[in-house]
């Protein structure tokens, strides 16, 4: 075989190996994509929409928000001052929460997901459309079920958080035992709309991002309003001072005119006593005594 044909064969083999390796890597490591973000980094880089999120990646959110979309419509919304890592386990994804909070939307047939904070593990109950929140509060974790049902496991003990209920647990099993689970919710019938429900990933992600931006801008607007109020007060004080100065100047001018008139009239009197014509003519509206 010629060197040229050998080189061509090596290229073909390499291409086939690469084509087989890329899907295998993606299937085993990719857990979703970044639907949108503000003031966030992913794997140490600026978080850009539509970036693939891989198992092992770490997300940092500062004063902003980030939305991660997964298969079958599941979505995760990370709030301000949040740190989280992603780990693929079998067919599911576990979010390792290092601080902050995450809201999760999980359709009834969505991909398996769980959030772990310390020794507390939270996951949607199988078969239920679920909207919940997990927030770290110092050494504790608050779990809230806004819709559906959440399973909470800590130290081998499992409890359920029903729709409309919250539970706060120590992150360490060395602390006090977990409180009793609230009653099971009535989940039959009816359609409940949530702000993360819907078909389009972009719409849900955009709503969450705009909410974060609105909160941030509201804070900036408040600061700007306070600064403007202070500036207005300073301007009013300056205007009052200027008015006072103007009034004082007008008073001084009137006094100067009065003195000038008195001096001029005195000169007229002196000239008249000497038989001379008056050298001074008072201004209009004024007369000499």
- The domain made up of 32-199 has a fold known as Jelly Rolls (2.60.120)
Q: Residue 255 pLDDT > 90, yes or no?
A: no
Predicted pLDDT at 172: 77
What band does 171 get if pLDDT is binned at 50, 70 and 90? Answer: confident
Lowest mean pLDDT, pick from 77-86, 183-192, 218-227 = 183-192
Predicted pLDDT at 239: 64
Predicted pLDDT at 75: 93
Locate the domains of the chain by residue range. 32-199
The DSSP output letter for 289 is -
Q: Residue 136 pLDDT > 90, yes or no?
A: yes
Token pair belonging to 27: 């299937």
Each residue's pLDDT tens digit, 198-254: 333 344 544 554 554 454 455 555 556 666 566 666 667 666 766 676 666 566 556
Predicted pLDDT at 207: 57
Which residues are paired to 84 by β-bridges?
59, 97
Predicted pLDDT at 238: 64
Average pLDDT, the chain: 75
Q: For residue 80, which of 67, 91, 96, 65 has the smallest C-alpha distance?
A: 65
Q: What distance in Å separates the CA atoms of residue 12 and residue 239, rounded to the nearest whole number? A: 83
Q: Which residue has the higher pLDDT, 186 or 59?
A: 59
What band does 26 get if pLDDT is binned at 50, 70 and 90? Answer: very low
Q: Sign of dihedral through CA atoms 225, 227, 228, 232?
A: positive
Mean pLDDT for 117-123 is: 96
Q: What distance in Å separates the CA atoms of residue 263 and residue 269, rounded to the nearest whole number? A: 10
Q: Residue 106 pLDDT > 80, yes or no?
A: yes
Mean pLDDT for 13-39 is: 63
Predicted pLDDT at 234: 65
Predicted pLDDT at 51: 94
Lowest mean pLDDT, pick from 33-37, 98-102, 189-193 = 189-193
Q: Residue 101 pLDDT > 60, yes or no?
A: yes
All residues at 6 or more sequence positions from 209 whose CB lies less than 8 Å from its CB, including other chains: 36, 37, 38, 65, 67
Predicted pLDDT at 282: 76
Q: Residue 182 pLDDT > 50, yes or no?
A: no
Lowest mean pLDDT, pick from 113-127, 134-148, 235-249 = 235-249
DSSP annotation string for 151-214? EEEETTEEEEEETTEEEEEESSTTSSPPPPPPPPP---SS----TT-SS-HHHHHHHHHHHHHH
Predicted pLDDT at 231: 61
What band does 84 get if pLDDT is binned at 50, 70 and 90? Answer: very high
């Amino acid at each position: 075989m010629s060197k040229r044909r050998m080189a061509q064969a090596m290229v073909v083999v390499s291409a086939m190996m690469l084509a087989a390796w890329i899907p295998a890597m993606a299937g085993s490591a990719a857990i979703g994509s970044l639907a949108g973000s503000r003031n966030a980094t992913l794997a140490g880089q600026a978080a850009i929409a539509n970036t693939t999120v891989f198992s092992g990646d770490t997300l940092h959110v500062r004063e902003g928000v980030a939305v991660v979309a997964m298969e079958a419509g599941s979505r995760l919304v990370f709030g301000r001052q949040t740190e989280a890592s992603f780990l693929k386990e079998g067919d599911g994804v576990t979010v390792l929460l290092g601080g902050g909070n995450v809201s999760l939307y999980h359709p009834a047939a969505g991909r398996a997901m769980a959030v772990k904070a310390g020794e507390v593990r939270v996951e949607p109950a199988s078969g239920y459309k679920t909207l919940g929140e997990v927030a770290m509060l110092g050494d504790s974790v608050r779990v809230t079920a806004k819709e559906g049902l959440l399973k909470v496991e800590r130290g081998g003990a499992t409890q359920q958080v029903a729709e409309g209920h919250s539970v706060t647990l120590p992150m360490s099993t060395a602390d006090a035992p977990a409180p009793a689970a609230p009653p099971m919710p009535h989940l039959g019938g009816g359609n409940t709309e949530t702000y993360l429900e819907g078909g389009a990933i972009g719409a849900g992600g955009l709503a969450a991002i705009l909410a974060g931006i609105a909160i941030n801008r509201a804070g900036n607007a408040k600061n700007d309003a306070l600064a403007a109020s202070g500036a207005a007060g300073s301007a009013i004080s300056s205007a009052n001072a200027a008015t006072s100065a103007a009034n004082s100047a007008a008073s001084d001018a009137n006094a100067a005119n009065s003195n000038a008139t008195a001096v001029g009239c005195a000169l007229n009197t002196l000239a008249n006593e000497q038989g001379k014509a008056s050298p001074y003519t008072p201004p209009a509206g004024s007369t000499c005594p």
